[in-house]
Chains A and B, each alone.
Chain A
């Protein structure tokens, strides 16, 4: 799980162009979206869907169902753990 969290953070940094951020800068529990956490938006949500599908073979058809899954790196990692092909 710890490996997965680290790996995910790096993928978020690369795919979402989070300039000057290192995996250590991202709080595993903090919200990814909205003003408090990383401040990601709806386009980032689509990019995260691509990360899941390309790298973990997990398909999320409806962006709306991503809301809880994408809450934080932690929720995202848990979802991947339980759905990994």
Chain B
């Protein structure tokens, strides 16, 4: 059964909506800067969406006084764009919604907790109502008018990728005809400090796949795509989702195995599922966080999968940072555009290849390339590895 990608929606550090994102990508304009949306003592670059909560609520015609989580606001903006793009209307039958998020409404609950910690009777209790991960999903589904199967996945940085994978399986099993899938995460003090405690934040702008890389920059945002079977199709699709796989590295709670075993198996299974051979892959949207370990092990996994002939590849994290649970939502949108318009995206700030693997990513933006298959990777804590394969119809 063919699964079509028929709608795209994205909000990231480089723009709101597909066109703004594409424009920034085309003009090498990254969105990394100092933290401005919340108080923090940490002086590290991050990829914030340059709109405050009130502005976001206004854009969505929501009550500006209600303490919606930023995760929900970013998600709804992206999901609404994807639904409009695909012509999804409220109450459409056999239509589902699956969202991934790594921290849910932590951006609100951490404000509550500051008062609560001193006195359990204190703190605006409305701020905790959005704490659980399902809150953003359920609010979005309600606003979008989706009444079919709805769920939330949280597998850290691969959350959105896994939402996409589940959506495809639900269509394939005959349970749904249409499903909006992706993920959303807002940057907050909790996550920023978490990654800082792991000492994997670069104090400079991140340099994925460069020999001098020294860590990642966190980001935020949301990305959703619409998956449909042939019966539900209402427009010319961008591409098809032909392969997907989730595996576990089972090596370490946070670090990837040096040889990238889990990554290798995820990519390999996704490619096999599509019935193609690795050499048919035209482009890889790598996970490429910019941490010394991730990029090295992902490089090794690619060298193994492609038998040392690695196709053009790039990490977009130099533009938007690592948007965690939202990252593969955003990057799936980019990957679909790469297939539809033959785009190769540049890997910003690359100068020197990683010594051990000597791979060179794409550094120039170009369109109209003969692209057939784009492989996209998302790897998370707990060794959670997912690869998706987007192909020309």
Contacts and interface: CB of A to CB of B under 8 A. Distances in A.
A, B from the same assembly: yes
A69 B198 CA distance: 19
Chain A binding surface, main DSSP class: helix
Interface stretch (B21-29, B179-187, B247-255, B346-354): B247-255
A46 B253 contact: no
B197 interface: yes
Interface residues of A, number: 6
A76 to B, nearest CB: 18
A43 B197 CA distance: 10
Interface in B252-277: 252-255
A49 B198 CA distance: 11
Contacts of B255: 42
A50 B197 CA distance: 10
Contacts of B198: 46
B197 A42 contact: no
B4 to A, nearest CB: 42
B252 A63 contact: no
Contacts of A43: 253-254
A43 B199 CA distance: 10
A41 B198 CA distance: 13
Nearest to A41: B252
B264 to A, nearest CB: 21
B43 to A, nearest CB: 14
A18 B253 CA distance: 18
A49 B196 CA distance: 13
Contacts of B254: 42-43
A46 B254 CA distance: 12
A16 to B, nearest CB: 14
Interface in A44-85: 46, 49, 63
A43 B200 CA distance: 12
A72 B253 CA distance: 23
B197 A46 contact: yes
Give the interface centre of B198, B199, B253, B254 by most chain A CB atoms within 10 Å: B199
A41 B255 CA distance: 10
A60 to B, nearest CB: 10
Contacts of B253: 43
A32 B133 CA distance: 38
Instruction: Indicate the member of A43, A49, A63 with the most B CB atoms within 10 Å.
Output: A43
B293 to A, nearest CB: 9
Contacts of A49: 199
Nearest to B198: A46
A7 B254 CA distance: 29
Contacts of A41: 252
A49 B197 CA distance: 11
A30 B198 CA distance: 26
A43 B198 CA distance: 8
Nearest to B255: A42
Interface of B: 197-199, 252-255
Given A41-B252, A42-B252, A63-B199, 8 more contacts: A42-B254, A42-B255, A43-B253, A43-B254, A46-B197, A46-B198, A46-B199, A49-B199
Interface of A: 41-43, 46, 49, 63
What 9 A-B pairs have minimum CB-CB distances, sorted nearest first? A42-B255, A63-B199, A46-B199, A41-B252, A46-B198, A43-B254, A43-B253, A46-B197, A42-B252
5 contacts: A42-B254, A42-B255, A46-B197, A46-B198, A46-B199
